[in-house]
Structure 1
Amino acid sequence: MEHGQSAPAIFDRALLRRRLARAASRGAPDFLLARAADDLADRLRGIKRPFPRSLDLCTPAAHFAQIVAASGRPAPLRAGRFQEPSVDLVAEEETLPFAAEAFDLIVSGFALQWVDDLPGALAQARRMLAPDGLFLACFPGGASLIELRAALAQAEDEICGGASPRVSPFVDLRDLGGLLQRAGFALPVTDVDSFTLRYDSMFALCAELRAMGAANVLTQRSRKPLRRAVLLRAAEIYATRFSDADGRVRATMELVWLSGWAPHESQQKPLEPGSAQMRLADALKPKEGSS
């Protein structure tokens, strides 16, 4: 993107806030967030750093903040998209009010999949980190809900002669390492937790997504609801292509993790080309006495 240009509006931010707030008020299912929080606890357990100043960046509930506090570190400041009891500041991931180098740790769960400008959001996170500060984020990856997307697209194409965007796009894991480097992070790492959920039907899956506030919020979504015939055909396709022997249907979920550090002189650095102390040819020679 050229300097000075704003990112296109991919997501309807006001609709997203309303849906997430309504889901939270009704006790949204939190098993995905709980799974990610357990993973966050494991990651923080292996890092012997105090992180006195931390930020929870728009995680939709307090799970990540509680994990940071449970690790023996100070509880993080919570920035959220809407006001709730444990949120300290209402803010958007792409327009954060914090000063440069304000935090030693930034964590974020299930938030960055809904930003219009992911490179820009990562660059802001990097700017807010003090030297040798850590960024840890988790959100759904590119293979998530691939079955639902395929069934809806096929059904709508068959019946309406074309498909409309019905499920939000997800970022591919292969692109994320480069985005972290582009944002200025050192030692970037990406990994993925892939697993399969099972439901009685496609309709049960869609009901759970709505309960989470995770229904379609694309600005280019069709304003017309899916016709009943399309939904019934999609459920039929889903059951035919993606069901198990017991009749229950599968839903792929992929949780992508990003981690990166704000650069610091103490960090391990790759060797400069030509600085190796041993020639490759010598390293490949068999040792004396070896067979």
Structure 2
Amino acid sequence: MSEPSPSDTPPSLDPAACARWAAWPHAASPWLNEEIGRRMEDRLQWIRLQPTSWVDWAPLSGGLETHAKLRARYPQAHCQVIEISAQREQLARQALQAPWWRRWLKPDALTFGAPAAGSADMLWANMALHTSDDPQALLQKWHQLLAVDGFLMFSCLGPDTLRELADVYQGKGWPPACHAFTDMHDWGDMLVQAGFAEPVMDMERITLTYANTESLLAEFRALGRNLHRNRFAGLRGKQWLAQLKTALLLLAKPAQDGRITLTVEVIYGHALKPLPRLKVQQHSSVSLQDMRTLLGQSPSGRSV
């Protein structure tokens, strides 16, 4: 597989818009993210490793209900929640943390903030990767947080997402409706480049239907923003909104009882963190964490 270049992974994202969306305080987790999280959580039944420590990356957008399902699946495991901003961390604390008196009676297996490097058996990241303007750096950060033999579970949007909406915008001569999403195979390449092993990629398409344009627009305001660097430069008026609603009605499908229809492509990824491989040269340098890991492992993979 070809190596993706930094200029097009992910394509067309505006870093400033990404930062604003990442810090946006969700009142509740988007329902689509919760549904995708539910489907990804169901895949854990095929994972043999039972983590004793795991990281939930940005659960406020990734899914608070999904977080509860994961806590129920691994009731004895310690969970470390990492949010994107202080405001979002406070909202996550209010939603997820037990009352103080309950924590006083029984310590809660839930903490907030970044854990020590190499301490997590699982890192869970639902619907976060496709909004990162530097996904390679984010994958490397996730890799650093995982222990050897720990695993990553993530989901993100794929290239066929909102293809119908993209056609509407193109037909009108408007700027792109959203940024371009990275292909499943490129994510597999980037996982390997970040140090992961045995990546397993999968995808599915979900059809969303809406009774009218008002319900569609209201729902998409909670699901995301247009992060394309060449999106409309300013606000549009009522005339443009009327044109958009008229164009969206063309997406109504008789097979869906006349409901407006949009496609979402969802990519699921799973990968392991292997034992570090050292490049033997005349002069080699090894990080302290890698040296501790290597000294603690025998060639068979068992602790010495």
Normalised TM-score (structure 2): 0.71
**The structure with more helix, counted as a fraction of residues:** 2
- Evaluate the alpha carbon distance shift between residue 102 and residue 28 of structure 1 in structure 2; reply closer, same or farther with a 3 A threshold: closer
Question: Displacement, 1:174?
Answer: 2.7
Question: Displacement, 1:29?
Answer: 4.2
Hey, what does 1:108 align to over in structure 2?
A: 125
Stretches of structure 1 lacking an aligned partner (at least 5 in a row)? 91-96, 158-162, 268-291
Q: Distance in 1 between matches of 2:192 and 2:264?
A: 26
Stretches of structure 2 lacking an aligned partner (at least 5 in a row)? 98-110, 276-298
Q: What is the CA RMSD across the aligned residues, in angstroms? A: 2.8
Across the two proteins, how many residue pairs are aligned to each other?
245
Deviations 1:12-51 (CA, angstroms, capped at 9, x unpaired): 24531454x1xx32x4542x22322322332222222221
Hey, what does 2:15 align to over in structure 1?
A: 10
Hey, what does 1:247 align to over in structure 2?
A: 258
Question: Displacement, 1:218?
Answer: 4.3
- Say whether 1:176 aligns with 2:212: no
1:103-252 → structure 2 map (5 Å cutoff)? 103-155=120-172, 157=173, 163-212=174-223, 214-218=224-228, 220-241=230-251, 243-245=253-255, 246-252=257-263
| Residue from 259, 265, 271 that aligns with 2:270 | 259
Deviations 1:205-263 (CA, angstroms, capped at 9, x unpaired): 22201133x12244553232234444433433333355335321111011111110001
Q: Distance in 1 between matches of 2:34 and 2:18?
A: 24
- Evaluate the alpha carbon distance shift between residue 222 and residue 29 of structure 1 in structure 2; reply closer, same or farther with a 3 A threshold: same
Hey, what does 2:72 align to over in structure 1?
A: 70
Identical pairs, percent: 23
Q: Distance in 2 between matches of 1:107 and 1:239?
A: 37
Hey, what does 1:279 align to over in structure 2?
A: none
- Say whether 1:53 aligns with 2:56: no
Amino acid at match of 1:70: A
Hey, what does 2:289 align to over in structure 1?
A: none
1:35-46 → structure 2 map (5 Å cutoff)? 35-46=35-46
Q: Is the 8 A contact 2:40 2:268 kept in 1?
A: no
Q: Distance in 2 between matches of 1:216 and 1:80?
A: 21
Amino acid at match of 2:83: G
Amino acid at match of 1:68: L
- Evaluate the alpha carbon distance shift between residue 33 and residue 238 of structure 1 in structure 2; reply closer, same or farther with a 3 A threshold: same
Q: Distance in 1 between matches of 2:21 and 2:274?
A: 34
Q: Is the 8 A contact 2:80 2:115 kept in 1?
A: no
Question: Displacement, 1:170?
Answer: 1.8
Normalised TM-score (structure 1): 0.73
Question: Displacement, 1:135?
Answer: 0.2
Residue range with higher mean Cα deviation, 203-212 or 190-199: 203-212
Give the match's secondary structure for 1:249.
strand
1:272-287 → structure 2 map (5 Å cutoff)? none
- Evaluate the alpha carbon distance shift between residue 138 and residue 236 of structure 1 in structure 2; reply closer, same or farther with a 3 A threshold: same
